[in-house]
Amino acid sequence: MIVPTQPPPQASSPWDVIVIGAGPAGCAAAITSARAGARTLLIEKGPAKRDKLCGCCLATSGVTQLRSLDTSGKLHAHVAAHALPLHTARVHAHARTGSFALPTSPAPGWAISRSVLDFALAHAARQAGAHVLFDAPAHLAFEGDAQRPALVQLEQHTLSAQIVLIADGLQGSSLPRTPAWHARVAPRSRIGLGAHTSTHALLQAGLPVPRPGEIVMHVADGGYAGLVQLAGGDIDLACALRSDAAGTPRPLQVARILASACAGTHSADLTRRWAALLSTLRLRGSAHLTRARRAGLGRTLVAGDARAYVEPFSGEGMTWALLAGAQAAQLACEALASTHAPWATLAQRWEHATRRTLAARHLRCRALAHLARSPAAVAAACALSHWSPAGLALRNVFAGLWQAPTRGIA
């Protein structure tokens, strides 16, 4: 059980590593650095249990990554007990449907609630020896340089650290609003939207319920929406929407995607039922999704969505974040152990490492997001899912990308 802690008093010497943000990237970083013996502080602005906008599908490669974070196997076993293994992706577009088998080797991917996963990860960080602080919005006050440690500002304290790892998600809200940390947003980038409901609510509204173990994707002109059943009968809905549909209420925008992907032009009744249900749910939104910013500056490294993100069609964001967090911490620990004043090149090394590890994956995901902008192409892929190039591309997403092996810093 994690109990929120009071700010640990600033010791006479700086922290070795301060991590800002206790999502997958930040927790993977804190677990890795604490396990390597670094004095680590993990700071999260929200409470210990918090939900998030996410499709809640952890790819096969993410499950492997999770297992490698914790050699005791406790983290993996705890999350597995709350997850539903995924076996199929069903894709609807222009009233066509295609089914794609998901890889199950070396392990199936999981449908997992974000409040369960993030809580378990933070708990594992504490077990590994990190100090964990919740309900504590933090801001980077100084990036650190060759001579001076970095500074992190909490509400009432200023803490110093040899290295700061920023893992605070898409918005990078802990970073200074200076040109150096500005994020480049891709043109025509979509925005995220999501909600939780239940199988009971779907049945009552006369709407189709995703089967356990199945991801149901809906692709339409306004964007795409995925539904997945979580353990306990909860349903996660996550969408990437065109951001230029000004004037259309969000519930209606999502309802049109869900209905027209399944029923094409005969979707008025389905749209009405989805819109009625969605208007009763608490919708969570995000900023523009596809973006990137610099990987580091001075003694500050950026990992996970805060560094770069590509819209979520391939469902790999958590996997990228787990991988990047662990790698950033690995690099930080190498720098801490180095006798050759590593600070001048630290950020540059991280820039190279993140490009090497993630650039190809991001590129493939971008290509797929591009395909998802044409519901007609997706419908053709669904109709000919076993042999068309587009069908092959979709099959590759759910097989090749999800299985892509993870690796350390070369």
Ligand X SMILES: Cc1cc2nc3c(=O)[nH]c(=O)nc-3n(C[C@H](O)[C@H](O)[C@H](O)COP(=O)(O)OP(=O)(O)OC[C@H]3O[C@@H](n4cnc5c(N)ncnc54)[C@H](O)[C@@H]3O)c2cc1C
| Binding residues vs ligand X (CB under 6 A) | 20-26, 43-46, 52-58, 137-138, 167-169, 173-174, 192, 194, 238-240, 286, 289, 304-306, 309, 312, 315-319, 321
Q: Nearest distance from residue 308's CB to ligand X, in Å?
A: 10
Shorter beta-carbon distance to ligand X: residue 238 or 277: 238
Pick between residue 294 and residue 380 the one whose CB is nearest to ligand X: 294
Closest approach of ligand X to the CB of residue 205, in Å: 22
Q: Closest separation between CB of residue 195 and ligand X, Å?
A: 10
**Closer of 378 and 380 to ligand X (Cβ):** 378
Residues near 173 by beta carbon (within 8 Å), at least 6 away in sequence: 45, 137
> What's the closest the beta carbon of residue 341 comes to ligand X, in angstroms?
29
C-beta of 196: minimal distance to ligand X in Å? Answer: 13
* DSSP 8-state symbol, 158: E
- Distance, CA of 225 to chain centre: 16
How far is the C-alpha of 100 from the C-alpha of 89, rounded, in Å? 5
H or E stretch covering 92? strand 88-93
Identity of the residue, 41 or 53, whose beta carbon is nearer to ligand X in the bound complex: 53
Q: How far is CA 141 from CA 76, 100, 328, in A?
A: 36, 48, 20
| Residue 55 or 108 with smaller CB distance to ligand X | 55
| Cβ closest to ligand X, residue 251 vs residue 312 | 312
Which residues make beta-bridge pairs with 18? 41, 164
CB of 111 to ligand X, least distance (A): 9
For residues 365 and 316, the answer to whether their CB atoms sit within 8 Å is yes
Q: Amino acid identity of 218?
A: H
Quick check: 215 and 85 in contact, CB under 8 A?
A: no
User: Please, what is the minimum distance in Å from the beta carbon of residue 316 to ligand X?
Assistant: 5
**Sheet strand arrangement including 84-85:** 57-58, 110-111, 84-85
359/353 Cα distance (integer angstroms): 10
Contact predicate 238/218, CB 8 Å? no
Cis peptide before 405 (omega within 30 of 0): no
Cβ proximity to ligand X: between 4 and 206 the closer is 4
